[in-house]
Amino acid sequence: MKAAIIFEKGSIPQYTDFPDPEIQENEFLVSVKAASIKNLDRARAGGNHYSTENQEHQPTIIGTDGAGYLENGNKVYFFSKKGTVSEKAAADKKMIIPIPEELDFSLAAALPNAVMGSVMALKFRAGIQKGNTILINGATGITGRIAVQVARLYGAQKIIVTGRNEDSLQSLLELGADEAVSLKLDDDDFKQKIKEIHKETPIDIVLDYIWGHSVEMILSAFKGDGTFSHKTQLVNVGGMSGDTIQLSSQILRGTDIQISGSGLGSWTKEESAFLFSEIIPEMFQAAVDGKITMETQDVDIKNIEAVWNTEIQSGKRLVIRI
């Protein structure tokens, strides 16, 4: 079969021949039609992700999930530890989800990762409730855009978004955000704006995609003065602006704030099972109903080498079509 292969860590995947997958008892064979390329896939391909740090590298098919047909003709989304950007893939039987017939393969392949990076944090870490006020920090990326729509779907009363790309930031208002705050503001102005919002409509949840200095400013804006403070949950999902922050212990002592993270390794088995049995199917249907939208940039697998290091248009997910 044809596949996109990483022969050495950090190299560009090559479109070439590769042996068909050997299907085990706990797997199904899938004829792959689409697979999205995410930061996770790039990090794993480069050997830079914590899930691959201790693995000895072998020629590997890129990709961790995809969409295609089972041998019986059923249309499915699936996970595979053996790679997915290939004509055929071995799918874990426990990690297969039916795709509505009305849903395009590209969207079906691209949406679940953004769902994992938004719904899991909002639902299980933050415990989102109808009427909550949500601040999404670094919302202009693909997952942040989905988070805005999911928060609205789950009944958020007010959604505040932050980001540096002014055009993308403003477009989030069309997706359901109520207020946008630019990360290009100087520190004092940014903190003052967050303070004003928090005073007017206390923020229940901060969903953070970038960490770094912006989180330091948000936490500083929340800092209490010794009186009772509003309970806020800060859930980190990504670290695009840096992996560490400086945090004053006074903020923790003087503010009712809880900090947690959401990602691979932080979810329980029950939460992961619910993701496959309920959440992703729910979001697939929401996409069919037009309640969630997402743009993809589709590229034929033959062109994987040319597109691997190119910049994808903001707000779009790269999807490899097979």
pLDDT digits (tens, 9 = 90+) for 88-110: 999 999 999 999 999 999 999 99
Q: For residue 42, give both structure tokens.
A: 């790039």
**Does 233 fall in a domain?**
yes
Q: Domain residues for 222?
A: 118-261
**Does 278 fall in a domain?**
no
Do both 180 and 247 map to the same domain?
Answer: yes
Q: For residue 197, give both structure tokens.
A: 């919002």
**Does 223 fall in a domain?**
yes
User: With a threshold of 0.75, does the pTM exceed it?
Assistant: yes
The set of residues, in sequence order, having a beta carbon less than 8 Å from that of 275 and lying 6+ positions away, is 115, 116, 119, 120, 267
Do both 303 and 234 map to the same domain?
Answer: no
DSSP letters along 143-204, please?
A: HHHHHHHHHHHTT-SEEEEEES-HHHHHHHHHHT-SEEEETTS-HHHHHHHHHHHHHHS---
Do both 76 and 135 map to the same domain?
Answer: no
Do both 67 and 125 map to the same domain?
Answer: no
Please count the structural domains in the chain: 2
CA distance 62 to 35: 10
Q: For residue 123, give both structure tokens.
A: 């639902």
Beta carbons within 10 angstroms of residue 81's beta carbon: 12
**Does 89 fall in a domain?**
yes
**Does 163 fall in a domain?**
yes
**Does 284 fall in a domain?**
no
Residue 51 has a pLDDT of: 53
Name the domain boundary from 238, 261, 284.
261
The CA-atom distances, in angstroms, between 118 and each of 2, 87, 138, 252 are 33, 30, 12, 25
Do both 11 and 43 map to the same domain?
Answer: yes
State the burial class of residue 52 (Cβ atoms within 10 Å of its Cβ: 0-12, 13-18, 19+). middle
Residue 9 has a pLDDT of: 79
Do both 257 and 122 map to the same domain?
Answer: yes
Do both 205 and 300 map to the same domain?
Answer: no
DSSP 3-state of 278: helix
Do both 144 and 165 map to the same domain?
Answer: yes
CA distance 203 to 195: 10
DSSP 3-state of 314: coil
Phi, psi of 179 (to 5 degrees): -150, 140
**Does 166 fall in a domain?**
yes
The residues of the chain scoring below 70 in pLDDT are 44, 46-57
**Does 86 fall in a domain?**
yes
CATH of residue 8: 3.90.180.10
Do both 191 and 221 map to the same domain?
Answer: yes
Do both 210 and 247 map to the same domain?
Answer: yes
Residue 54 has a pLDDT of: 58
Q: If you search the block for the tokens 């520190």, which residue do you land on? A: 187
Do both 146 and 246 map to the same domain?
Answer: yes
Name the domain boundary from 239, 261, 283.
261
Do both 241 and 123 map to the same domain?
Answer: yes
Name the domain boundary from 219, 242, 261.
261
**What region does 55 belong to: left with phi over 0, alpha with psi -120 to 50, or beta?**
beta
